[in-house]
Amino acid sequence: MTKTFNVAVLGATGAVGEQMLKTLERLDFPIASLKLLSSKRSAGKKIKFKGEEITVEEAKPESFEGIQLALFSAGGSISKALAPEAVKRGAVVVDNTSAFRMDEEVPLVVPEVNEHALQNHKGIIANPNCSTIQMVAALEPVRKEFGLKKLIVSTYQAVSGAGSEAVDEMYEQSRQIMDNEEIDPKVLPVSGDKKHYQIAFNAVPQIDVFTDNGFTFEEMKMINETKKIMEDSSINVAATCVRLPVETGHSESVYIEVEKDGLDVSRLQELMKDAPGITLQDDPSQQIYPLAADSKGKDDIFVGRIRQDLDEKKGFHLWIVSDNLLKGAALNSVQIAFSLVNTGLLK
Amino acid sequence: MTKTFNVAVLGATGAVGEQMLKTLERLDFPIASLKLLSSKRSAGKKIKFKGEEITVEEAKPESFEGIQLALFSAGGSISKALAPEAVKRGAVVVDNTSAFRMDEEVPLVVPEVNEHALQNHKGIIANPNCSTIQMVAALEPVRKEFGLKKLIVSTYQAVSGAGSEAVDEMYEQSRQIMDNEEIDPKVLPVSGDKKHYQIAFNAVPQIDVFTDNGFTFEEMKMINETKKIMEDSSINVAATCVRLPVETGHSESVYIEVEKDGLDVSRLQELMKDAPGITLQDDPSQQIYPLAADSKGKDDIFVGRIRQDLDEKKGFHLWIVSDNLLKGAALNSVQIAFSLVNTGLLK
């Protein structure tokens, strides 16, 4: 008989929480009992899981008594407060916020890239930022064989990454603009920041707040997390992160320079074909390339538009697309949970 | 008294033609007579210019008798057929199609960058591609003082660059998707290509058709035109061009590496402040950066998000935005016409 586990999902009523539950169900994670947790405001809601109705409870330190695996996705401050409480009570926490990602004691894991880092966990495992996950998973097979010297990414990110309020704002604004009505932006680009801008029929070069060096936190996450997950701080990484009027599906225009000779477009395509979790969609003659709208609801990372730089022999361009709520968040968290089970780390 | 000229506008009923007429009127170009030309299909339409109604005529070789300045924006094949006819009859042609841009005999001009190239014209002057113009105009002050070694751009391009049919398609699709109706893409990404894809709430990494090297023609235009306008074929240029659900206003995420030491963010900001046709919008602490939706109807090129690369001392990132129908097309053509007048080349 398969060993089963007592699981808690914190942030069960959010956009990522919803996808976590769907993914646990769909991939048939070995669950003995499931507890759904949220803020006080959402407690009392009822959510169906495998045909059974579960009432969402307010998350408290005591909620984690007897829990073996806790998936967190309820915001950084809640993770900071409750993850240590869950660990204290014997749970392993897979945290989908940025709270612990750069903590040296905390493994930051994309299973296809650095599953082995789980071995050093001390109770908390961090799930990387959505835009980082799809990029490192696609580039790891290249790095492993040819090394990565430099990486410059410009993102085309979907609004669902900013929560369901942002999705509602995008659709409401779209209607208002088409009906020549006034718009009143309140959520995007960053709900907690000072100013809000039109997202419908626009492109906004700000995701998360700005840091002192002129890069946004989202850009610094991509830069720092990439080096940590690939375990190579010598890779030069730069990012420009842009929010688009797309509901779900992050796209990335990525330029890389590899260390070693011998890579060409067909070898890069082969590497993508063989990589776990990657689907190659790359045939310009048939206008085949990844599209954000097609990625919604799919587990894979889609890669196309692969071409060699015209000047730099070791330079290549790629277009990388994935569902930011699945591989970018919920799916990767559940995959980490499976890795914990499969490597015997979850007891 | 100011000398005035007999002017013809070919493609007067198109999106760019409309902006050309508005710009000629607004900037008070010295016109003696104005002839509006189009395909047979649009001939007979009436268009107001400075309060006077002008009937659009079908463009024929004879249409250019007595014309001194002809602004062309009716598609490459029409330019190829009629520009030589206009020149034969004594007109100077400013052509906004790609027909002659890479012709060695034809100057490719952004007045702020290479007005001097007009001196060598043999009757035809080419207006560069929209996405190229805003980039080279912003980068020329940097190139002049610090040299340009490398340039990697990812674009965020508006649908009006593909014509008014594309704009209609975007809005119609947006409504259909929000109303859960079927969509039927027919125009974008490229009206003449085999397949058509959803543009509403999507990001499509194809503008113009593909070339054999995996880059699209739009990308190759940015690469080749940049070198020609800046008169330096040693600059390494790479481009990834992406169409977005934005009506008007192209945005560009640009990474540059300069040749010389000494450039920093504040110097780069100063260069932008002093540059003709450029407005610096760059204050992260106040969330000030250029936005496509704000650029519509404005003459200037807007530059922000300027920051130094974290690894490469001579590397910088910029976000460059401009109205693709104005500085990207109509305005630049009219500015070329003014340059011809001011330098005595239009007689």
ipTM over 0.85: yes
User: Which residues in chain B have their CB less than 8 angstroms from residue A203's CB?
Assistant: 156, 244, 246, 251, 291-292
Give, for B240, the enclosing helix (H) or strand (E): strand B236-240
Question: Which of B183, B253, B311, B318 should we substitute to test contact with A (largest number of A Cβ atoms within 10 Å)?
Answer: B253
**Residues of chain A contacting B171 with CB distance shorter than 8 Å:** 178
d(CA B92, CA B122): 8
All residues of chain A having their beta carbon less than 8 Å from the beta carbon of residue B302 are none
CA-nearest residue to A292 within chain B is: B202
Among this protein's residues, is B121 annotated catalytic?
no
Residues of A annotated as catalytic (active site), given as ranges:
130, 250
Q: B71 in helix, strand or coil?
A: strand
The alpha helices in chain A, defined as continuous H runs, are 15-26, 76-88, 111-114, 130-146, 164-178, 217-229, 265-274, 292-295, 331-342
Looking at residue B1, its pLDDT comes to: 59
Q: What share of chain A is helix, strand, coil (3-state, %, to 5)?
A: 35, 25, 40
According to the annotation, is A175 in a ligand binding site? no
For residue B306, is pLDDT > 70? Answer: yes
Is pLDDT of B88 > 90? yes
Calculate how close chain A gets to B151, using CA atoms only, in Å: 11
Does residue B151 carry a pLDDT above 80? Answer: yes
Please report which confidence band the pLDDT of residue B347 belongs to, taking 50, 70 and 90 as the band edges. confident
Contacting B residues, span 132-171, partner chain A, CB-CB under 8 Å: 150, 152, 154, 156, 171
- B319 closest CB neighbour out of A175, A205, A285: A205
For an interface test with B, the pick among A171, A235, A253, A321 (most B C-beta atoms closer than 10 Å) comes out as A253
Task: Give the model's pLDDT for residue B210.
Answer: 98
Structure confidence by residue, pLDDT tens digits, A266-278: 999 999 999 999 9
> Which of B174, B246, B310 shows the shortest C-beta gap to A238?
B310
Residues of chain A with C-beta less than 8 angstroms from the C-beta of B304: 205
Percent above pLDDT 90 for chain B: 99
Ramachandran bin of B287, using left for φ above 0, alpha for ψ from -120 to 50, beta for the remaining angles: left
List the single residue in A with minimal CA-CA distance to B170: A201
Place B54 in a pLDDT band, splitting at 50, 70 and 90: very high
Three-state SS for A33?
Answer: strand
Q: Which residues of A111-142 are buried (b: 16+ CB within 10 A; e: fewer)?
A: bbbbbebbeebebbbbbbbbbbbbbbbbbbbb
Query: Cβ of A240 and B311 within 8 Å?
Result: no
Prior bond of A185 cis (ω within 30°)? no
CA distances from residue A119 to A2, A4, B231 in whole angstroms, order as listed: 22, 20, 56
* Number of A–B residue contacts, CB under 8 Å: 162
B158 and B181 in contact (C-beta within 8 Å)? no
3-state secondary structure of A293: helix
Contact A245 B247 (CB under 8 A): no
Q: Which position among B116, B130, B196, B317 bears the catalytic label?
A: B130
Going A193 to A212 to B314 to B213, the CA torsion angle's sign is negative
Q: Report DSSP letters for A98-138, one per residue.
A: SSSTT-TTS-B--HHHHGGGGGG-SSEEEPPPHHHHHHHHH
B15 marked as binding residue: yes
At B288-300, the pLDDT tens digits run 999 999 999 999 9
Share of chain A above pLDDT 90, in %: 99
Q: Tell me the pLDDT of chain B averaged across its residues.
A: 97
Mutate which of B159, B217, B305 to disrupt the A interface (most A C-beta within 10 Å)? Answer: B305
Beta carbons of B210 and A251 less than 8 Å apart: no
Q: Does residue A248 have a known ligand-binding role?
A: no
CB within 8 A of A51, min separation 6: which ones?
A: none
Residue B243 annotated as part of some ligand binding site? yes
Q: Which residue has the tokens 């010297």?
A: A149
| Interval B46-52 mean pLDDT | 96
Which of chain A's residues have a Cβ under 8 Å away from the Cβ of B291?
Answer: 197-198, 202-204
Write the CA distances from A182 to A172, A178, A280, B10, integer angstroms.
Answer: 11, 10, 43, 37
Count, residues in chain A: 347
Task: Give me the residue from A202, A247, A310 closest to B246, CB to CB.
Answer: A202
Q: Which domains does chain A have, with CATH numbers?
A: 5-127+329-342 (3.40.50.720), 132-324 (3.30.360.10)
The single residue of B116, B196, B241, B250 carrying the catalytic annotation is B250
Put simply, whether A285 touches B (Cβ < 8 Å) is yes
d(CA B18, CA B8): 13
pLDDT at A1: 59
Could you give the angle at the alpha carbon of B156 between the alpha carbons of A292 and A15, nearest 5°? 35
Answer yes or no: do A238 and B198 touch at CB < 8 A.
Answer: no
pLDDT band at B44 (very low <50, low <70, confident <90, very high): very high
- Total residues belonging to chain B: 347
Identify the sign of the CA torsion B254, B255, B261, B267: positive
A101 marked as part of a ligand binding site: yes
Distance CA A183, CA A172 (A): 9
Whether residue B89 is annotated as binding a ligand: the answer is no
Q: Is B41 exposed, middle or buried (0-12, 13-18, 19+ CB in 10 A)?
A: exposed
Mean pLDDT, range A276-299, rounded to an integer: 97
Tell me: the pLDDT tens digits for A114-171? 999 999 999 999 999 999 999 999 999 999 999 999 999 999 999 999 999 999 999 9
Q: Mean pLDDT throughout B161-182?
A: 97
Tell me the mean pLDDT in the region B164-174. 97
Per-residue pLDDT reduced to its tens digit, B194-227: 999 999 999 999 999 999 999 999 999 999 999 9
Is the distance from CB of B114 to CB of B132 less than 8 angstroms? Answer: no
Q: What is the distance between the alpha carbons of residues A313 and A309, in angstroms, rounded to a whole number?
A: 7
Q: A347 falls in which pLDDT band (50, 70, 90)?
A: confident
Confidence class for position A2, pLDDT limits 50, 70, 90: confident
CA distances from B260 to A19, A94, A223, A252, A278 (A): 50, 47, 26, 30, 41
| Helix/strand/coil percentages in chain B, nearest 5 | 35, 25, 40
CA distance B229 to B236: 14
Chain A partners of B205 at a C-beta cutoff of 8 Å?
251, 253, 289-290, 304-305, 319
Q: Which residues of A are less than 8 Å from B206 in CB distance?
A: 287, 289
User: B-chain residues within 8 Å CB-CB of A205?
Assistant: 251, 253, 289-290, 304-305, 319
- CA dist., res. B68 & res. B291, Å (int): 38
Question: Averaged over A317-327, what is the pLDDT?
Answer: 98
Quote the distance between the C-alpha of residue B236 and its chain's center: 21
A227 inside 8 A of chain B by CB: no
Task: Nearest chain B residue to A240 by CA: give it.
Answer: B253
Instruction: Check: CB of residue A125 under 8 Å from CB of residue A94.
Output: yes
Six token digits for residue A247? 């509901």
